[in-house]
């Protein structure tokens, strides 16, 4: 089979022929149909992600595929079942082995590219807004990086939860997309007075930040009393530093949100979230957005689209 293989953190990965994988205890083998890219894949390739696998490895955190074999001790899902799974890595390949317990049967009628792009982005925002921030109807939710893979789902879910969503993104096309997904207000990320613009709208009750850097600093200064700030990621490349005493002034809660951590500490939170989201999709309540679909030999192009912030929603690699 072919795989996009990382053999060194100092040289670019390449599509390489490797042996077909064999599922071990608790695993299933999948014929992978689609793999969604995530910002974490860029960090893994550099060796700077908190869950970077040992070399050599194929990145690719979430996939959709069909079960072709089951390892020892695995009774489900059945061979031939089409599933989506967050495997953490290994998805940028024509085949892969993943924990059977994480495999979720794909709803009938859901295309493979949408299924691959669905779990991490939607469940990250769903868990962040419901379980962590406990977003309430009528609250003002400021989403930084609002047209990105997770940001756009935060806009969509926040609006469906009854929040007044303020979407911050770069450029008219991305702002129009956020507005289409339910944003009540849009702000260009290049606004020289982002803090002042958010304050003029009434300030932020909840901030959803997948960007970090200057955007975080501006949104932090625009928070209302008892605000909650969700720290999702650092697409800007800058991890903001917060002085603890500044949290006291307005009783602000700073909430770290690492979706993958719940798979280990509280897996039921993730299971319940995914079940709820698939039900919402089945009722036609969610509209996943994939801006680019590329073949395996163009993974580097897809990663660059993400790194340069030229994509919206998700970028998906299709194997067949």
In the structure, what pLDDT confidence band is assigned to residue 220 with cuts at 50, 70 and 90?
Answer: very high
In whole angstroms, give the CA distance from residue 208 to residue 135.
11
**pLDDT for 314 beyond 80:** yes
Q: Are residues 98 and 201 in the same domain?
A: no
What is the mean predicted confidence (pLDDT) over 283-310?
95
In the structure, what pLDDT confidence band is assigned to residue 264 with cuts at 50, 70 and 90?
Answer: confident
Do 316 and 292 contact (CB within 8 A), yes or no?
yes
Query: Backbone phi, then psi, for 197, in 5-degree steps?
Result: -70, -40
Do 300 and 6 contact (CB within 8 A), yes or no?
no
Residue 47 lies in a domain: yes
For residue range 94-137, list pLDDT tens digits in order.
999 999 989 999 988 899 999 999 999 999 999 999 999 999 99
Q: Are residues 239 and 304 in the same domain?
A: no
Question: Could you tell me the CATH number of the domain that includes residue 9?
Answer: 3.90.180.10
Q: Are residues 173 and 196 in the same domain?
A: yes
Number of H helices and number of E strands within the chain? 10, 15
Query: Of 223, 257, 291, which residue constitutes the final position of a domain?
Result: 257
- Its pTM stands at 0.87
**pLDDT for 163 beyond 80:** yes
In whole angstroms, give the CA distance from residue 217 to residue 229.
11
Question: Tell me, what's the pLDDT at 154?
Answer: 98
Residue 131 lies in a domain: no
Domain that includes residue 8, residue range:
2-119+263-318
Q: Are residues 88 and 164 in the same domain?
A: no
Query: Backbone phi, then psi, for 84, in 5-degree steps?
Result: -115, 145
Q: Are residues 187 and 294 in the same domain?
A: no
For residue range 82-98, list pLDDT tens digits in order.
999 999 999 999 999 99
For residue range 13-44, list pLDDT tens digits in order.
999 999 999 999 999 999 999 999 998 999 99
What is the mean predicted confidence (pLDDT) over 163-192?
97
Q: Are residues 283 and 308 in the same domain?
A: yes
Give the C-alpha distances (Å, rounded to integers) separating 46 from 6, 13, 228, 257. 9, 10, 31, 22
**pLDDT for 320 beyond 80:** no
Share of the chain above pLDDT 70, in %: 100
Q: Are residues 225 and 283 in the same domain?
A: no
Give the C-alpha distances (Å, rounded to integers) separating 318 from 31, 298, 304. 12, 10, 17
Q: Which residue in the block uniquely carries the two structure tokens 């993958």?
A: 260
Residue 113 lies in a domain: yes
**pLDDT for 179 beyond 90:** yes
Question: Tell me, what's the pLDDT at 175?
Answer: 97
The DSSP bridge pattern shows strands 204-209 and 223-231 to be parallel
Helix ranges, 53-150 (H):
112-126
Per the document, the length of the chain is 320
Give the C-alpha distances (Å, rounded to integers) separating 151 from 178, 253, 312. 9, 20, 9
Instruction: Report how far Cα 307 is from the mean position of its chain's Cα atoms.
Output: 14
Share of the chain above pLDDT 90, in %: 87
Q: Are residues 111 and 218 in the same domain?
A: no
Query: Of 233, 257, 281, which residue constitutes the final position of a domain?
Result: 257
Number of structural domains found in the chain:
2
Q: Are residues 145 and 224 in the same domain?
A: yes
Residue 230 lies in a domain: yes
Q: Are residues 43 and 112 in the same domain?
A: yes
DSSP for residue 127: I
Give the C-alpha distances (Å, rounded to integers) separating 213 from 10, 41, 194, 207, 218. 26, 20, 13, 14, 9
Query: Of 257, 278, 295, which residue constitutes the final position of a domain?
Result: 257
Question: Could you tell me the CATH number of the domain that includes residue 193?
Answer: 3.40.50.720
Q: Which residue in the block uniquely carries the two structure tokens 């989201």?
A: 277
- Please choose, from the candidates 19, 2, 317, 313, the residue with its C-alpha nearest in 3D space to the C-alpha of residue 173: 313
Q: Are residues 167 and 238 in the same domain?
A: yes
Q: Quick one: residue 174, left, alpha or beta (phi over 0 = left, psi -120 to 50 = alpha)?
A: alpha
Say which range, 15-29, 187-201, 256-270, has the weakest mean pLDDT: 256-270
Do 212 and 241 contact (CB within 8 A), yes or no?
no
Residue 152 lies in a domain: yes
Do 219 and 195 contact (CB within 8 A), yes or no?
yes
Q: Could you write out the DSSP letters of every residue in 268-292?
A: HHHHHHHHHHHHHHHTT-----EEE
């Amino acid at each position: 089979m072919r795989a996009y293989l990382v053999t060194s953190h100092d040289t670019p990965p390449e599509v390489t022929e490797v042996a077909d994988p064999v599922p071990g205890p608790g695993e299933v083998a999948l014929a992978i149909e689609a793999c969604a890219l995530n910002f974490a894949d860029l960090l893994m390739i550099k060796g700077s992600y908190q869950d970077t696998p040992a070399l050599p490895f194929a990145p690719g955190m979430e996939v959709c595929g069909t079960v072709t074999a089951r390892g020892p001790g695995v009774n489900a899902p059945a061979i031939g079942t089409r599933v989506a799974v967050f495997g953490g890595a290994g998805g940028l390949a024509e085949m892969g082995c993943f924990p059977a317990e994480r495999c979720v049967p794909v709803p009938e009628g859901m295309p493979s590219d949408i299924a691959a792009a669905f779990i991490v982005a939607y469940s990250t925002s769903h868990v962040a807004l419901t379980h962590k921030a406990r977003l309430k109807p009528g609250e003002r939710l400021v989403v930084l990086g609002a047209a990105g893979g997770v940001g756009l789902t935060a806009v969509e879910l926040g609006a469906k939860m009854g929040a007044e969503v303020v979407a911050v993104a770069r450029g008219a096309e991305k702002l129009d997309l956020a507005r289409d997904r339910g944003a009540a207000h849009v702000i260009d990320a290049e606004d020289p007075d982002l803090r002042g613009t958010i304050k003029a709208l009434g300030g932020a009750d909840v901030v959803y930040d997948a960007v970090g850097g200057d955007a975080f600093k501006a949104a932090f200064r625009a928070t209302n009393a008892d605000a909650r700030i969700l720290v999702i990621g650092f697409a800007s490349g800058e991890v903001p530093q917060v002085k603890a005493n500044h949290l006291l002034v307005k009783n602000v809660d700073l909430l770290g949100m690492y979706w993958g951590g719940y798979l280990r500490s509280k897996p039921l939170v993730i299971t319940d979230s995914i079940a709820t989201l698939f039900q919402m999709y089945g009722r036609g309540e969610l509209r996943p957005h994939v801006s680019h679909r590329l073949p395996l030999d163009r993974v580097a192009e897809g990663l660059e689209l993400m790194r340069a912030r030229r994509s919206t929603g998700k970028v998906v690699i299709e194997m067949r």
